Copies of this chain bind each other. A is one copy, B any other.
Amino acid sequence: MQHTLIKDILVSKPDGRTVDIYGWVRTKRDSKNLCFIEVNDGSCFASIQLTFDREKAAQTDSALIENELKKITTGASVHASGKLIPSPASGQAVEVALERIDVLGEASAETYPLQKKGHSFEFLREIAHLRPRTNAFGAVGRMRNQMAFAVHTFFQERGFNYVHTPIITASDAEGAGEMFQVTTLDLKKIAENGIIAGAKGMKAEKAAELVDYTKDFFGKSANLTVSGQLEAEAWATALSRVYTFGPTFRAENSNTPRHLAEFWMIEPEMAFFDLDDDMDLAEDFIKYLLNWALTKCTEDMAFFNERIQKGLIDTLTKVASSDFKRISYTDAVKELEKNNDRFEFKAFWGCDLQTEHERFLTEQLFNKPVMVYDYPKDIKAFYMKLNADGKTVRAVDVLVPGIGEIIGGSQREENYDALLSRIKELSLNPEDYRWYLDLRRYGTVVHSGFGLGFERLLRYVTGMANLRDVIPFPRTPKSAEF
């Protein structure tokens, strides 16, 4: 079977040949002589129009078709066939002169939740299994696919190797972030053993004895990863250029449009790249992704531009053609201090930049993407390369108009002694980082990388306001439906 997708039929010649259409009815408009049915198969934004002309149809066909038409409501699945002809209607080059239609699956007008009228995104989140059938979520799904393939293509063109870093990990990569525990221990059994031990007089402070991680699947406590970076470094110091693209997790109890408990992250890691190379790559990467969206996804982007965020295409086009401004954290803070009257949080050297600061820099002061580098070491992670000043590290945040930070990266500390003393300084256990230190013990090299949250990118590219609406099935506090 392997039928032709509607996206391919819509761009083919209306030469009168018979075509088969498989999809779901979006609308049916019926009048005395004419019936128009819009059918969509999700292969593209547009639907194809089936036109049934009662005056032209053969009597036998007609009876069959009329019988099926009665069953057709929004959401019904159909197989139709007819001649592909030029369309007199505006906005579509071709249509199908209906000769036969079969309803494969009905969708009761009384109960099908997706009727013609618009629905709030909040409501659609409750029916996340059906929302891809709407214009907005079909478009988001296709954009997500396009952006994912753009990510892979960008790196493949540049000699990077895709690496699958582990999802389950016994270490906390960044020494930061609340983590989900992964276990095969029986929680009810632990409670039961507690009750029995308590009855026999065990003291509550000995509770840890009842949680025997040597019996857990991995023989120790394990968690879901918050980042694949450290493992990616192991591969970068062997294959030179690698990237990860996989799910990462935060057990942060934040119920906001900017947080997800499960999200996808892209983390390139490059041997022999210093921070300048890292910034060059980050800039190329953002521009490449935006250009891909603007040139390969025109139909879906037109929808986002018109219905989700006015001016979106102009904003992205401008970013894609800008030279990103590079400024040190120290200089950026000087600029911010001059404008401290604008900010809720006053900027000062040593402060973590707030979204209001980031957006001021990129939207007001420079009016283009900005890369802020050389941050105070105390607000950045242990693995970042210490500068000669002893105070700042070779970190960079990439800020874009409309959203603020979109990428965070750094040159990594490649000096064994410097890294070890930083680990000790932060009271981390060097034994937990033994293998990571090995990468500096044997054939160490300057290397750098960065991280891009895939949903953050999608939010930027589509203009969708809530991260929950750019991932198929969002996981958030109190919600893991479907």
Report B-chain residues with C-beta under 8 Å of the C-beta of A192. Answer: 194, 204, 207
Contact indicator B445/A104 (Cβ below 8 Å) = yes
Whether the pair B164, A261 counts as a contact (CB closer than 8 A) is no
Could you give 6 example pairs across A and B, Cβ below 8 Å? A1-B276, A5-B240, A187-B187, A199-B201, A217-B251, A435-B482
A141 near B129: Cβ-Cβ < 8 Å: no
| Contact assessment for A473 and B204 in the assembled complex, using a CB-CB cutoff below 8 Å | no
Point out the residues of chain B lying under 8 angstroms from A12, CB to CB: none
Closest CB in chain B relative to A1 CB, distance in Å:
5
- Most B C-beta atoms less than 10 A away, residue of A22, A76, A187, A441: A187
In the complex, which residue of chain B has the Cβ closest to the Cβ of A132? Answer: B238
Q: Could you say which interface size class chain A belongs to? A: 35 or more
Query: Across the interface, do B482 and A231 meet the contact criterion of CB distance under 8 Å?
Result: yes
Min CB distance A116 to B, Å, is 14
A218 interfacial contact with B, CB 8 Å: yes
Nearest CB on B from A92, distance (A):
19
> Is A46 engaged at the interface, CB distance under 8 Å to the other chain?
no
Q: A350 interface residue, CB < 8 Å from B?
A: no
User: Does A142 lie at the interface of the complex (its beta carbon under 8 Å from any beta carbon of B)?
Assistant: yes
CB contacts (< 8 Å) of A273 on chain B: these are: 1-2
Of the listed stretches A155-163, A314-322, A379-387, chain B binds: A155-163
Q: Which residues of B contact A168 (CB under 8 A)?
A: 180, 224, 249, 261-262, 475, 480
A75 to B237, CA, bound (A): 11
The answer to whether B138 and A446 have CB atoms under 8 Å apart is: no
Measured between beta carbons, the chain B residues less than 8 angstroms from A253 are 217
Cβ-defined contact, A23 with B240, below 8 A: yes
Q: Tell whether A234 is near chain B: CB-to-CB under 8 Å.
A: yes
**Choice from B22, B165, B190 contacting A190 with Cβ under 8 Å:** B190
Task: Check if B477 sits within 8 Å of A280, measured CB to CB.
Answer: no
- A: which residues have CB within 8 A of B? 1-3, 5, 7-8, 22-25, 41-43, 75-77, 79, 104-108, 111-112, 114, 127-130, 132-133, 137-138, 141-142, 144-145, 148-149, 152, 156, 159-171, 178, 180-185, 187-204, 206-211, 217-220, 222, 224, 231, 234-235, 237-241, 246-247, 249, 251, 253, 261-262, 264, 271-274, 276-277, 280-281, 414, 435-436, 438-446, 471-473, 475, 477-482
Residues A480 and B170 in contact in the complex (CB < 8 Å), given A141-B161, A204-B195: yes
A181-B187 in contact (CB<8A):
yes
Decide: B184 and A183 in contact? CB cutoff 8 A: no
Given contacts A182-B180, A262-B166, contact A475 B218 (CB under 8 A): yes
Q: Select A202's contact among B145, B161, B195, beta carbons within 8 Å.
A: B195
Closest B residue to A475 using CB positions: B168
**Which one of A2, A5, A127 has the greatest number of beta carbons of chain B within 10 Å?**
A2
- Residue from B22, B145, B182, B239 within 8 A of A272 (CB atoms): B22
Instruction: Determine the distance from Cα of A435 to Cα of B482 in the docked complex, in whole angstroms.
Output: 7
* CB-CB under 8 A for A129 and B438, given A168-B261, A181-B183, A277-B2: yes
**Taking the nearest CB of chain B, how far is it from the CB of A368, in angstroms?**
23
Given contacts A145-B162, A442-B130, A443-B24, contact A222 B480 (CB under 8 A): yes
**Chain B neighbourhood of A262, CB < 8 A:** 166-168
The reply to whether A473 and B42 contact each other, CB–CB distance below 8 Å, is no
